Amino acid sequence: MLRLSRRTLLKASAGLGLYGAGLGAASLLDARAQAATPIRLQARQTDALLNGQQLTRGVMTYAVDDGASDPMPPTLRMKRGEAFDATFTNHLDEPTTVHWHGLRIDNRMDGVPFLTQPYIYTGDSFDYRFTPPDAGTYWYHPHCNTLTQMGRGMTGLIIVENPDDPVFDAEIALNLRDWRLGGDGQFIEQFKPRDAARTGTFGTVRGANWQVEPRYTAPAGGLVRLRIVATDVTRIYTLKLQGALAMIIALDGQPLPTPTPFDTAMIAPGQRLDLLLRMPDEDGATVSLLDIRPSAPKTVASFAALGSTLKRDLQDVKALPQNPWTAPDLSSAEEIPLVLSATAENAARDSICGTLGYSFWAINKVPWPGDTSDPSAPLAELKLGKTYIFNLTNNTPHAHPIHLHGMNFQVIASNLRSAPPLISDTYLVLPDEKVQLALVADNIGDWVLHCHVIEHQKTGMTAYIRVT
Ligand SMILES: [Cu+2]
């Protein structure tokens, strides 16, 4: 399904000269807009109703002020090219950090303990200040004791606005993630070693926006921007809509040059899908968002048409404005091998940011469990401004969403599918796939790349590259 729909996408967008040289990331990264009014962001522990029946204790979350009533982490709104300023305070009983997934920002703000900043102890604060260069749909989460902290709730959405975006009749953002709860509604063990060595351990309660099959309303006959973010630690979704037509308008935050008819799409942990949904004309008619992977379709969320029809037309909507992007110079590119494999060597030592105690995975034969000190040497050292091609080879029988911090890459070629010329920060590499990802090293610093199945990340599938 995925291959077909991504191939369709490629056909639709091929040959348009898309993603041409933009402003260049550096110019926007260097731009420092007027100081924003700081928000106060905190990590805290709470109780929450996650399965619709019992209150779950020991939930970990974010809040923007002390009196927050909604337990779900707030969706943070930023503006492209304008400063964002958050004073973050840790009210958990353990250290944490904040990583801003997909935002190409200053390395010191990237939130990776040991590599970019010290972890933030209980009661301590850290000022996260940066200017997002790209509009789109992103998210934030910890990079310390990641499986526990994310598994217990710490995954929130980020919407970076562009004043030139088309106006929609409604916007709905969906934070897709599951929970590992027992029959009493309380957390059970976050992972099973035998599953960590395979696809990862799945949740027992499926969720969207911390609800089970939530239902929303939107104007009948209206155009809805649906921002979908897969923040689960394990689950790969294959999404399909029932009861309405839609167009894909952005993937992983990056606008498609031409909106493309939506059939199905696979989105893995870390990835985002922006749809333009045309609601039915009839008041009360319902649209369902389904996950059809692996077998029996499950309803993720539904949308009911409300009122008399607005009679909008899907074809009315133009492409979202492109983000700045420096096209890789493939003629001068240096190639870097990046081989994913299984291993049993070097089980992780204990760390203040948590280890799972196992080693199952490696990148270029080196297992590093992430969130720990001593990551050995960088996988590669890159020169600022130069183009590189990662030859990513998956020698495992499992799919891995490989996420790179701080920079975007462009998909160049794959041995399994027509390579959509997508720009992204997270690529789902399929079993036995070899794919080429090209990028211009345009952001100085040490940048982690890792599998976003967090059990894989935490049992060895983590490395970092250095840009100087
Ligand atoms: Cu993986």
The CATH number given to 325-467 is 2.60.40.420
Ligand 1 centroid vs 26 CA: distance in angstroms?
31
From the centroid of its chain, how far is CA 138? Answer: 6
Q: Tell me: domain 166-316, CATH 2.60.40.420, correct?
A: yes
Query: Distance between CA atoms of 222 and 132, rounded to whole angstroms?
Result: 30
For the ranges 95-99, 255-259, 363-367, the lowest mean pLDDT is seen at 363-367
Chain-wide mean pLDDT for the chain? Answer: 89
Ligand 1 centroid vs 193 CA: distance in angstroms?
14
The pLDDT value given to residue 375: 64
Q: Cβ atoms within 10 A of the Cβ of 318, count?
A: 10
Q: Which CATH class is domain 32-161?
A: mainly beta
From the centroid of its chain, how far is CA 437? Answer: 18
Ligand 1 centroid vs 94 CA: distance in angstroms?
26
SS3 328: coil
Ligand 1 centroid vs 363 CA: distance in angstroms?
11
The pLDDT value given to residue 406: 98
Ligand 1 centroid vs 285 CA: distance in angstroms?
39
Ligand 1 centroid vs 234 CA: distance in angstroms?
9
Ligand 1 centroid vs 400 CA: distance in angstroms?
4
Does this model's pTM top 0.85?
Answer: yes
Task: Report the alpha-carbon angle 97-99-102, nearest 5.
Answer: 180
Please write the tens of the pLDDT for every residue from 386-439.
999 999 999 999 999 999 999 999 999 999 998 777 999 999 999 999 999 999
The pLDDT value given to residue 344: 74
Ligand 1 centroid vs 61 CA: distance in angstroms?
24
For 178, the enclosing helix (H) or strand (E) is: none
- In the chain, where does the domain assigned CATH 2.60.40.420 lie? 32-161, 166-316, 325-467
The pLDDT value given to residue 90: 98
Ligand 1 centroid vs 453 CA: distance in angstroms?
5
From the centroid of its chain, how far is CA 83? Answer: 21
Ligand 1 centroid vs 204 CA: distance in angstroms?
20
Nearest alpha carbon to residue 23 among 63, 72, 80, 106: 80
Ligand 1 centroid vs 196 CA: distance in angstroms?
9
Ligand 1 centroid vs 8 CA: distance in angstroms?
26
- For residue 427, list its beta bridge partners: 402
Query: Distance between CA atoms of 153 and 429, rounded to whole angstroms?
Result: 26
Q: Which tokens go with 327?
A: 């096209």
Ligand 1 centroid vs 342 CA: distance in angstroms?
10
Query: Distance between CA atoms of 208 and 186, rounded to whole angstroms?
Result: 18
